[in-house]
Amino acid sequence: MGVAFTFPGQGSQAVGMGKELADTYSEARAVFDEVDEALGEKLSDIMWNGPEETLTLTANAQPALMAVSIAAIRVMQARGLDLKAKVSYVAGHSLGEYSALCAAGMFTLADTARLLRIRGNAMQAAVPVGAGAMAAIIGLEHGDVDAVCAAASSEGPCQIANDNGGGQLVISGAKSAVEKAAALATEKGAKRAIMLPVSAPFHSALMGPAADAMREALAKVEKKDPLVPVIANVRAAPVSNAEEIAALLVEQVTGQVRWRETVEWFAANSVTTLYEIGAGKVLTGLARRIDKSVTGIAVNGPADIEAALASLNG
């Protein structure tokens, strides 16, 4: 049966992440050193010692999460993992798509770190603080949430940002529009509509300036076709051409992360084991909720890595 590697997105960060990898494996230490050098600062110090509010800043959380994922990948490769031979596809949730592409060789590690720093800063700068918002809508179908977003758009842009599956959708846009949509969702029968403590309305039309910044940044970096296809967030289907992937990464800034459909695509194409590489186990939990035929396995510490290698190389 097929294997895919998935890579977590923002929200999976925690102070201390990656420290055990760095203490245990020289290959992991080298990754954190290279990311620090690429960014011209000790991001690893913030990752391991905090403070949490500094790590949580979008411009830090994005490259930090990628660094933990790639540290785990490099350790596995040093111990005999042949990614192309053992893994059919890669996919990542939002910023995790960059981690996936770095793992698959489309971008260098240093370029990925710099791209994510640019992406984080551009997303933060796209909308004045307080002007945008996001909300989680629990217990409504995709079509119903689409309808409440359309009904609320008289207040400003409002759209589905993440389809996480298991009856959880995240909406994003102008603050007043998102608040209206959340109220309408509750009227429509949503179990819960929760405003999220985020710093910007990610994956909404308001992120247009950030999409422009990423188009410019992606045009300047060297790109190679990935070793294995990526299941692109905005397409929920495999893509193998580097230039096409770069265009989809630009689209992703203002587009929907179609994670439910991504996992459903895996299930429909006999990819039954999803290794979540990096911090936390959010995607592993989502996989279980989306399709019971898919097994999610979180890989973030030394014991997880050894177990995954034994299974993959067995």
* Residues tagged active-site: 94, 203
User: Is-contact 169 137, C-beta < 8 A?
Assistant: yes
The reply to whether omega before 302 is within 30° of 0 (cis) is no
Residue 201 in tokens: 């309305």
Q: Count of residues for the chain?
A: 314
Quick one: CA dihedral 257, 2, 230, 269, positive or negative? negative
- Cβ contacts of residue 290 below 8 Å, gap of 6+? 165, 166, 259, 260, 263, 264, 267
| Distance, CA of 43 to CA of 142 (rounded, Å) | 38
> CA distances (Å), 28 to each of 104, 285, 300, in order?
17, 26, 12
